[in-house]
């Protein structure tokens, strides 16, 4: 079981809204983000991201914790900032990918894209733009696409592109 530990000023002081504790006992989260409904989508992704680290990188965390005994947010941030760039990018990419796939399952995303495409086909302006500038149309429809998943537009745009679902096939 992971505890949720809200901490004041985490985001403003160390530029992190959440992180998995090195002892794997919980997720530390910025109190203000956690308590503000306007950050609900961001927090959902952050929690899923940290659970991704828990699932995918548990052994790495255990090794680091046993060697360094990192416990304070500043120590964690310092450790991350001193990681080799390629390792850090890979580590974070994996957790982001886990979170995106967890929150936006591909089969449900395919259904939502199909529903959006039906609407796009009824709008001559959008259907014309879809062929010319699919990214512009995606940015136009992503606010609707993200609602069923309670994630940000950025998450939806990333997922549809990664899954090869955008642009939808014109037929």
The reply to whether the predicted model has a pTM over 0.85 is yes
pLDDT tens digits, one per residue of 105-134: 999 999 999 999 988 888 777 888 888 999
pLDDT for position 170: 66
Report how far apart, in Å, the C-alpha atoms of 49 and of each of 33, 94, 99 are: 15, 9, 5
Q: Are 17 and 10 in contact (CB under 8 A)?
A: yes
Least confidently predicted of 53-62, 114-123, 142-151:
114-123
Average pLDDT over residues 83-105: 95
* Nearest in space to 28 (alpha carbons), one of 67, 75, 96, 93: 75
The residue that leads in pLDDT, 148 or 130, is 148
């Amino acid at each position: 079981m992971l505890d949720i530990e809200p901490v004041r000023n985490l985001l403003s002081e160390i530029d992190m809204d959440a992180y998995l504790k090195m002892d794997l006992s919980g997720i530390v989260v910025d109190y203000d983000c956690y308590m503000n409904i306007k950050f609900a989508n961001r927090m959902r992704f952050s929690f899923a991201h940290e659970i991704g680290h828990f699932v995918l990188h548990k052994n790495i965390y255990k090794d680091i914790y046993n060697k360094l005994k990192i416990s304070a947010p500043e120590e964690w941030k310092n450790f991350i900032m001193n990681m080799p760039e390629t390792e850090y990018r890979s580590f974070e990419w994996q957790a982001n990918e886990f979170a995106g796939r967890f929150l936006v399952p591909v089969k449900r995303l395919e259904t939502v894209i199909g529903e959006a495409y039906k609407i796009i086909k009824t709008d001559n302006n959008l259907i014309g733009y879809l062929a010319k500038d699919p990214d512009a149309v995606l940015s136009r429809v992503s606010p609707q696409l993200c609602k069923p998943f309670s994630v940000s537009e950025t998450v939806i745009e990333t997922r549809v592109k990664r899954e090869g679902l955008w642009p939808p096939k014109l037929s």
